[in-house]
Amino acid sequence: IMGAGDAGAMIAREMRNNAHVGLEPVGFVDDDLGKHDVRIHNVPVLGSRQDIPALVREYKVQQVIIAMPSAPGKVVREVVQMCEQAGVQARIIPGIPELLDGRVSLQQVREVEIADLLRREPVQTDIGAVRALIRGRRVLVTGGGGSIGSELCRQIWRCGPAELILLGHGENSIFDIHNELRGSEPGMVISPESGAWSAQSPVLTPIIADVRFAERVRTVFEETRPEIVFHAAAHKHVPLMEMNPAEAITNNVLGTRNVVEAALAVDVEHFVMISTDKAVNPTSIMGASKRVAELIVHRAAQQSGKAYVAVRFGNVLGSRGSVIHTFRRQIAQGGPVTVTDPEMKRFFMTIPEAVQLVMQASVLGA
C-alpha cells in the first residue's frame, strides 16, 4: 500500500477484516521517514516509494495500491512508472474530489486512469456553503443523464436536497443515474415538521423530456416547482454541430431559452448554466450557440435581479465531449494521434472538479 496515512490505514483494515476479497497486505511504503519501522493495523511500513522495486522482488508483491487521495499527478505518475518497471500492477483509490464524504473502501480501488496521472493539488471549494444552499431545497438538473449532469446529480444528492429532479431526453442514461442514486446513501435533510436534520431519503424524480419543447418544459417546472436549476443539457461536439447547425441552435439556444423562461415563471431562485470556453470569441457553430445561450441567461439575471449565472468549462476529462476519448481510440489503433496544431494547448479539468466549480457558482451567484 503506497501511503501510510488515513486512507492507507482504512484500506489495510478492510483487507484484514475481509479475507474473502483475496488481498493480503504485505506492507506500506511512505515517503515520510517518521512513519518508517512502525506498524499500522499490524502491517509494517517497509520504506519509501524508491524501495518499491526491491520490495516487489523480496515479498513477491502482485499489486500496489496507491492510497494517497491528495497526492498530485506528478507523484502518481512516478509511482505508476516504478510499478511498471517492477512488473507489478498499480491500482488506486480516487482523488479528493471524488471522496466528498471522506470515506475510503476497497470497493473504490480501481485501475489508474488518465485523470489520476494529471491530478492537481485539490482546489478548495466552500462545500459547506454549497450544502447549506442545496440542503432541504428542490433541485432540478437538465441533461441529468449526461457525463456532467450525472456527476452533478451525485454531488447534489450528497448534499441532502428535499427533492432532486433528473430531467433528460435519453431514457437509458436517466434510468442509469436514477437507479444508481436510489441505491446510494443521501445526505441529511430538514424535516418540515420539526425543522431538525433527519436521515429520511429525499425525493428522487426522473423525468423524460426534451428542452426544445417549450410547453413540455413549462409543464415540468409547474409540476415540480424547483428552487434551484442546473442547466447541463446541450449539444457539445464541435465538428458534429458544424454539420448540423440547426440542431445546435434548437437545442443550445432555444432549449436554454425554454428552460430560463420556465424557471422565471415559477420563481426559481438560483440558475446555473454550463457553458464552454468555446463561447469566447466563438469560431464554431457550437461555440456561437453557447454564447447566445449565455446572453439569454445574462439577460434573465438583469431583468429579474435573481442569481442566474453561466460557468465556462475547458476540456473536461472523461466527459462525452472530451478529446481524450478520440486520443485513446487513436492510440489503441496504433495511431496517428491527430491534433489541431503542434503548438495547441489544452486545459484539462476532471468531471468532479468541473462539477464542484458549477456548484460553487450557485453560491457565488447568491
Residues ≥6 apart with Cβ < 8 Å to 278: 238, 284, 286, 287, 290
Select from 123, 125, 126, 186 the least CA-distant residue to 153. 186
Specify whether 278 is catalytic: yes
C-alpha span between 312 and 81 (Å, rounded): 34
HEC sequence for the chain = CECCCHHHHHHHHHHHHCHHHCCCCCCEECCCHHHCCCEECCEEEEECHHHHHHHHHHHCCCEEEECCCCCCHHHHHHHHHHHHHHCCEEEECCCHHHCCCCCCCHHHCEECCHHHHCCCCCCCCCHHHHHHHHCCCEEEEECCCCHHHHHHHHHHHHCCCCEEEEEECCHHHHHHHHHHHHCCCCCCEECCCCCCEECCCCEEEEEECCCCCHHHHHHHHHHHCCCEEEECCCCCCHHHHHHCHHHHHHHHHHHHHHHHHHHHHCCCCEEEEEEEHHHCCCCCHHHHHHHHHHHHHHHHHHHHCCEEEEEEECEEECCCCCCHHHHHHHHHCCCCCCCCCCCCCCCEEEHHHHHHHHHHHHHHCC
How many Å apart are CA 346 and CA 366, to the nearest integer? 31
Question: Active-site residue among 60, 236, 278, 290?
Answer: 278
Among all residues, which ones are annotated catalytic? 278
